[in-house]
Amino acid sequence: MPMYSQISKTWQDIFHQKGGDMRTRAVELRKQPAMLRVDRPWRLDRARALGYKAKEGVVVIRMRVSRGGMRKQRPTSGRRPKHMGVLRIKSAVSSQKVAERRAAERHPNMRLLGSYPVWEDGIHAWYECILVDPMHPAIRKDYNYRRTLGIVG
């Protein structure tokens, strides 16, 4: 069986059992900030399928997004609606798209290649987003990235 198929099968087993070794990683995830740049992706098979390469100019960001229904209860104290946490929550937008949007907003000089789920619990869902710097010399020399990002010249 090819290596990436084995990695994919292992991750499917982890997602279905939701316990064991991943439970200790989930504790670490909850302690980390909502947006964290990581050195290497957890799910190498999904990252490589989206275009990840271990080279300069390619960044992996782990995003935490809140889960649950879109009907958020409004706080009773006096606050601006912007700070209540009830705006910009739309049922038509998936939590994965929200994670991608937040990562792209935070890094305006990068281009988003894609994202994939890493873990979820009752409160949050975590995604790893693959971002590429189109102006980096290593990326501009790579034909595959130039074609994917539409870089001319």
> Please, what sign has the CA dihedral across residues 85, 41, 138, 111?
negative
Lowest-pLDDT range, 11-15, 64-68, 105-109, 138-142? 11-15
The domain limits of the chain are 3-149
Top pLDDT among 19 and 68 is at 68
Instruction: Give the model's confidence band at 46: pLDDT under 50 very low, under 70 low, under 90 confident, else very high.
Output: very high
In CATH terms, is domain 3-149 a member of 3.40.1120.10? yes
Instruction: Give the model's confidence band at 122: pLDDT under 50 very low, under 70 low, under 90 confident, else very high.
Output: confident
State residue 106's pLDDT score: 96
Instruction: Please name the residues in contact with 12: beta carbons below 8 A apart, sequence gap of 6 or more.
Output: none
Q: For residue range 7-16, what is the model confidence (pLDDT) as tens digits? A: 888 877 777 7
Q: What is the pTM of this model?
A: 0.81
Query: What average pLDDT score do residues 52-64 get?
Result: 96
Q: How far apart are CA 94 and CA 79, in angstroms?
A: 27
Give the 3-state secondary structure of the chain.
CCHHHHHHHHHHHHHHHCCCHHHHHHHHHHHCCCEEEECCCCCHHHHHHHCCCCCCCEEEEEEEEECCCCCCCCCCCCCCHHHCCCCCCCCCCCHHHHHHHHHHHHCCCCEEEEEEEEEECCCEEEEEEEEECCCCHHHHHCHHHHHHHCCCC
